[in-house]
């Protein structure tokens, strides 16, 4: 299959196109976000494409085993490009009976992106962005991060043999995520301020071309992440769910799902798109405020605040792409409280699945969307869990010990509290604890 791709500005009154090899992050004419796009839609034989994608899962070749690169017909890279992979993707789609019941929906499945090599969805985009860094001959790759992008970039840069620098807000990133970046050998630069300050600085630094920026503003990140939509459709026998619900931070993930499902539909691999809804934490919800009309124009949140530190973001760079995904699929953008996030996370845990706090906004949001009647009885729902439970164990321990508090001093109730029990006595004492279970 031929792969004619270009970078294209998403602004309707601009639409400028650029070569794939142009080292751009935004349109050099109007500053708009860029898509990697087909210059003409590829002509494909749908059945053979589906069969090839599926059969690659049984291959021993790294490019076939990767849940991103087995869909390479839809990726803007030549066949002879040396890919950088850690066997990302191919993540599980779990049934979640307790979470379904909690939300009051008939069919809820959880697509767990925390099962990726570094424990978050970032790996599916980092494999393509770091591959593009190699294609362009970059020396130093960099990102701003609340922790997961950093951990992922650090791992892929190490695998590729590239220098790596990450900017994180000092004191606001979980130790587990920082530990990953340090172990993978990245230079960790802690900045005073929040994620948005880090993002501003790194964008300025990348202007002169001395570093290759791999935040989700980079359209090659989105290319990798869009394959999760393909993988999900494949797991559902090429049906799409009625609803797809994702957390919203910098808004790259929702943008990528929009693009993935748009391309599947354009190719005829599916017959419709799911409604894509985005859930933000109440204290970090500039996108929800804009979409729901509380603000006439998009206004950055100056002091974002949430215990779901991964999505503590007030100036999301990809909001226009996310808006496109939500509008064209008639989804919703909503907010959930800190208490709702914490409780939903515990319920996901009770399904034996678990996730980090930001991921649990989805289940909390689905419960609300069902209560409001936006999700109807009998409709199918998939929530995307973006990060692994062990990404933020401090949060988990505090929740179960009833000591979780927001930065404004609001105490989160341990609704599903489950503190460890100290048993210092005899076997009989242990027996009595065990017999009281259930």
Q: Which residues make Cβ contacts (< 8 Å) with residue 277, sequence separation at least 6?
A: 243, 244, 245, 246, 326, 331, 332, 333, 334, 365, 369, 374
Which spans in 161-218 are helix H? 175-183, 195-206
Report the residue number, 69 or 257, with the smaller CB distance to ligand F0G.
Answer: 257
Q: Which DSSP letter does residue 61 get?
A: S
Nearest to 313 by CA among 358, 385, 392, 250: 250
String of b and e for 334-356 (b: at least 16 CB within 10 Å)? bbbbbbbbbbbbbbbbbbebbbb
Helix (H) or strand (E) holding 95: strand 93-95
Report the residue number, 85 or 250, with the smaller CB distance to ligand F0G.
Answer: 250
Cα–Cα distance between 331 and 148 in angstroms, integer? 26
| Dihedral of the alpha carbons of 11, 292, 337, 392, in degrees to the nearest 10 | -10
Q: Which DSSP letter does residue 405 get?
A: B
* Shortest distance in whole angstroms from residue 425 CB to ligand F0G: 41
Nearest to 131 by CA among 76, 64, 207: 76
3 state SS of 59: coil
Report the residue number, 269 or 307, with the smaller CB distance to ligand F0G.
Answer: 307
Cα–Cα distance between 152 and 177 in angstroms, integer? 9
Report the residue number, 33 or 269, with the smaller CB distance to ligand F0G.
Answer: 33
Nearest to 325 by CA among 277, 265, 382: 277
* Shortest distance in whole angstroms from residue 387 CB to ligand F0G: 3
* Shortest distance in whole angstroms from residue 145 CB to ligand F0G: 3
Report the residue number, 146 or 306, with the smaller CB distance to ligand F0G.
Answer: 146
Report the residue number, 145 or 180, with the smaller CB distance to ligand F0G.
Answer: 145
* Shortest distance in whole angstroms from residue 91 CB to ligand F0G: 13
* Shortest distance in whole angstroms from residue 72 CB to ligand F0G: 23
Report the residue number, 312 or 367, with the smaller CB distance to ligand F0G.
Answer: 312
* Shortest distance in whole angstroms from residue 253 CB to ligand F0G: 3
* Shortest distance in whole angstroms from residue 249 CB to ligand F0G: 3
Cα–Cα distance between 15 and 8 in angstroms, integer? 6
Report the residue number, 96 or 168, with the smaller CB distance to ligand F0G.
Answer: 168
* Shortest distance in whole angstroms from residue 267 CB to ligand F0G: 24
* Shortest distance in whole angstroms from residue 141 CB to ligand F0G: 14
Report the residue number, 253 or 285, with the smaller CB distance to ligand F0G.
Answer: 253
Report the residue number, 267 or 304, with the smaller CB distance to ligand F0G.
Answer: 304
* Shortest distance in whole angstroms from residue 112 CB to ligand F0G: 11
The answer to whether the beta carbons of residues 268 and 329 sit under 8 Å apart is no
Q: Which phi and psi (to 5°) does residue 342 adopt?
A: -65, -45
What is the pairing mode between strands 187-191 and 275-281? unpaired
What is the residue whose two structure tokens read 């059945």?
A: 47
Report the residue number, 7 or 359, with the smaller CB distance to ligand F0G.
Answer: 359
* Shortest distance in whole angstroms from residue 356 CB to ligand F0G: 5
Binding site for ligand F0G (CB under 6 A): 120, 145-149, 216, 247-253, 310-311, 356, 358-359, 386-387
The answer to whether the beta carbons of residues 141 and 163 sit under 8 Å apart is yes
Which pair of structure tokens corresponds to residue 60? 């021993």
Residues in a beta bridge with 7: 18, 36
- For the chain, helix, strand, coil in percent to 5 are 40, 15, 40
């Amino acid at each position: 299959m031929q792969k004619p791709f270009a970078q294209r500005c998403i602004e309707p009154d601009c639409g400028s196109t650029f070569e794939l090899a142009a080292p751009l992050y935004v349109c050099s004419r109007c500053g708009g976000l860029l898509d990697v796009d087909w210059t003409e839609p590829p002509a494909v034989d749908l059945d053979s494409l589906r069969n090839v994608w599926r059969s690659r899962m049984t291959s021993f070749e790294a490019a076939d085993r990767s849940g991103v690169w087995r869909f390479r017909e839809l990726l803007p890279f030549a066949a002879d490009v040396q890919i950088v992979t850690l066997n990302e993707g191919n993540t599980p789609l779990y049934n979640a009976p307790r979470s379904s019941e909690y939300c009051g929906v008939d069919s809820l499945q959880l697509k767990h992106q925390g099962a990726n090599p570094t424990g978050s969805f970032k790996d599916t985009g980092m494999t393509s962005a770091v591959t593009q860094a190699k294609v362009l001959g970059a020396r130093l790759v960099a990102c701003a991060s609340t922790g997961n992008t950093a951990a992922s970039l650090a791992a892929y840069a190490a695998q590729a043999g590239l220098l790596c620098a990450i900017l994180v807000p000092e004191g606001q990133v979980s130790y587990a995520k920082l530990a990953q970046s340090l172990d993978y050998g990245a230079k960790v630069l802690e900045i005073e301020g929040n994620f948005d300050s880090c993002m501003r600085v790194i964008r300025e630094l990348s202007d002169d071309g001395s570093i290759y920026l791999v935040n989700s503003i980079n359209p090659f990140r989105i290319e990798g992440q869009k394959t999760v939509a393909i993988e999900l459709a494949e797991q559902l026998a090429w049906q799409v769910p009625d609803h797809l619900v994702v957390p919203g931070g910098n808004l790259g993930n929702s943008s990528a799902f929009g693009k993935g499902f748009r391309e599947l539909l354009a190719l005829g691999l599916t017959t419709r798109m799911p409604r894509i809804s985005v859930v933000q934490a109440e204290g970090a919800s500039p996108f929800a405020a804009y979409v729901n009309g509380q603000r006439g124009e998009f206004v950055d949140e100056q002091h974002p605040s949430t215990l779901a530190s991964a999505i503590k973001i007030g100036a999301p760079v990809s909001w226009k792409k996310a808006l496109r995904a939500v509008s064209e699929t008639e989804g919703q953008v909503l907010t959930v409280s800190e208490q709702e996030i914490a409780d939903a996370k515990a319920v996901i845990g009770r399904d034996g699945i678990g996730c980090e706090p930001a991921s649990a906004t989805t289940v909390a949001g689905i419960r609300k969307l069902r209560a409001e009647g936006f999700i109807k009885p009998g409709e199918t729902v998939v929530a995307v869990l973006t990060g692994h439970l062990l990404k933020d164990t401090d949060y988990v321990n505090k929740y179960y010990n009833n000591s979780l508090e927001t930065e404004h001093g609001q105490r989160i109730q341990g609704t599903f509290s489950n503190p460890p029990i100290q048993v210092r006595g005899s076997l009989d004492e242990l027996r009595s604890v065990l017999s009281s279970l259930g």
